[in-house]
Structure 1
Amino acid sequence: MGSLVRVLPALVAAISCFTALAIDIPDLRYLRAYTDYDPDGPYHEFLDYSPDLSVQGMDNSIVRICLTGLWLMYSERYYNGTSAAYDGINDCHNISSSLSMQVSSLRYPGSPYGMDDVYYTLYEGELWTGNEFKGNTNVPTVANLDMNVSSVSISGQSPWTFFTGLQYAGEAVCLYPVNIVNDNSIYLHHGGIARLAQLGLPDNSVRSVAKGCLTDNVYRGDRPHQGERGDRDGH
């Protein structure tokens, strides 16, 4: 009995330490959705994907958002239809006229664990719509989206290289996170391509992905740049 009494306080201390560590490493990403333009009005806060906003009673009613991170909003459920991307650090936006009162789903690109973690996200449809495939490590095949990728998003401070062949073969284009948002030492680095053709690759041609800039064909936001190959971290 005496041994049990000694073990329990140690176990409680270990659990308390683990809980404190978890609380001390928060994910800062959030989105607050408002149904009117009053900054002091009621809102619903999202920390994760919502494929169907009717579940939260917010379908076709969002006109204003305040957020941290990069978020994608869609006019149809399950991330389809017209889409728009919004970024910021504790920033607010009125929803564009093309989406106002029509938002039916929302999600974010990148890591579920940290807003500025190095991550890539591939999308089945143009403008970041449809099914996705995401990760933070090299993949010799993009599995369910093999030859079915139409748009791309990346986050964090590393470029990524996208290949038209399995096992990092075929044509390749390197994409950098050219957009940088910061406020009070909180940073968000991201980049994206709404249509794969912007990278100079045929639609539905991406088959593998590697971290770093592993080709001379570098896209920095407006057009491919040649002869700028770096190492795996893009340096």
Structure 2
Amino acid sequence: MKMLLFITLSVLFALSCSRVHFNAPSAAAKFEPSVENPKENQFMDGYNYSNGGGDRVRAVDYIPNLAEYNMDNTISYVCVTGIWLLYADANYNVANNAGSNYWVFGDNFCTDVPAGFDNMASSLRYTGAPDQWTGDTINLYLSPFFAGGEEYTYDDLPQLNYNDAAKSLIVTGCNAWTLYARSNYGGVCMCVFPGDSTKCFPGFYTTEESLGDLAGQISSVRKGCYCDNNKAYPDNYGSLTQHNFEMQKAKIPV
């Protein structure tokens, strides 16, 4: 019988894939893991057998390489609190934007990994606020399907660090955000939304097509919808499904 593997992760940083956010230091404290209410913190348990059997890895932060924890290409079942993204390649598919991925969210939500992604995960990370997955944030990714580098904020941001670079994004919380083509909330605008504003389910904009004319053109963002004539709803809008799998090679040329 295999020995149960239990791993609790400390904070991990990968320069090419690190989270970038720009807010006042006092506001940034909101993103520290909660000590008083640890059950509210995002975490994921990954198992190498279906129905939660075998070895386990517990993620409380980013894991750019599951091989370092002897769990590369082994995860078959997950239990999550929060919003978690799993990738077929190390470093969040940064070197292979056509790699497959899988995302899953909920409160203590457990499920078998889809057959097409079974035993494929090589890296994983959460999105949104680490201590409140239903909190309002916008998370922008430099490649389709949330691959590679990222930038996030929970406040208005008049100038993105990665200007004109986002090709996919995730809206968390209950409220809409407005994207702008120019800094300081100027130029062409578009409202983006959660998947369900009542349940505060995240909204997944997976590709450049999901973002329309603003794909690779976003320079500033602010919370709320201030562009009534241009609204784009997420790919999972109105869906109650709490996980999804993408075989990207069928969609994006390598």
Q: TM-score range by the shorter chain?
A: 0.7 to 0.9
2:215 maps to what in 1?
Answer: 203
Unpaired runs of 5+ residues, structure 1, are: 1-20, 182-186, 224-235
Q: How does 1:61-210 map to 2 (within 5 A)?
A: 61-80=74-93, 81-143=99-161, 145-179=162-196, 188-210=200-222
**76-85 or 199-208, which deviates more:** 199-208
1:117 partner SS: coil
Structure 1 outlier segments of 4+, above 6 Å: none
Aligned residues: 197
1:87 partner SS: strand
Change (3 A) 1:207 1:73: same
The alignment yields a C-alpha RMSD, in angstroms, of: 2.2
AA aligned to 2:177 is W
8 Å contact kept, 1:152–1:196 = no
AA aligned to 2:166 is V
1:54 partner SS: helix
1:232 maps to what in 2?
Answer: none
AA aligned to 2:122 is S
Q: How does 1:216-231 map to 2 (within 5 A)?
A: 216=228, 217-221=230-234
Paired with 1:93 and 1:221, the residues of 2 have a C-alpha distance of 23
Paired with 2:47 and 2:173, the residues of 1 have a C-alpha distance of 28
Displacement of 1:147 after TM fit? Answer: 1.1
8 Å contact kept, 2:174–2:197 = no
Displacement of 1:51 after TM fit? Answer: 0.8
1:36 maps to what in 2?
Answer: 49
8 Å contact kept, 1:69–1:188 = no
2:140 partner SS: strand
8 Å contact kept, 2:146–2:206 = yes
Larger radius of gyration: 1
8 Å contact kept, 1:162–1:210 = yes
Change (3 A) 1:51 1:188: farther
AA aligned to 2:137 is Y
AA aligned to 1:100 is D
AA aligned to 1:177 is P
% of aligned pairs identical? 27
2:49 partner SS: coil
1:150-181 deviations in Å (ceiling 9; x for gaps): 00101112211111111111111111112369
Q: TM-score, normalised by structure 2?
A: 0.71
Unpaired runs of 5+ residues, structure 2, are: 1-33, 94-98, 237-254
Paired with 1:62 and 1:48, the residues of 2 have a C-alpha distance of 17
**Structure 1 residue 56 and structure 2 residue 79: aligned?**
no
Paired with 1:42 and 1:219, the residues of 2 have a C-alpha distance of 41
8 Å contact kept, 1:157–1:189 = yes
Displacement of 1:40 after TM fit? Answer: 4.4
Q: How does 1:3-22 map to 2 (within 5 A)?
A: 22=35
Q: TM-score, normalised by structure 1?
A: 0.77
8 Å contact kept, 2:42–2:126 = no
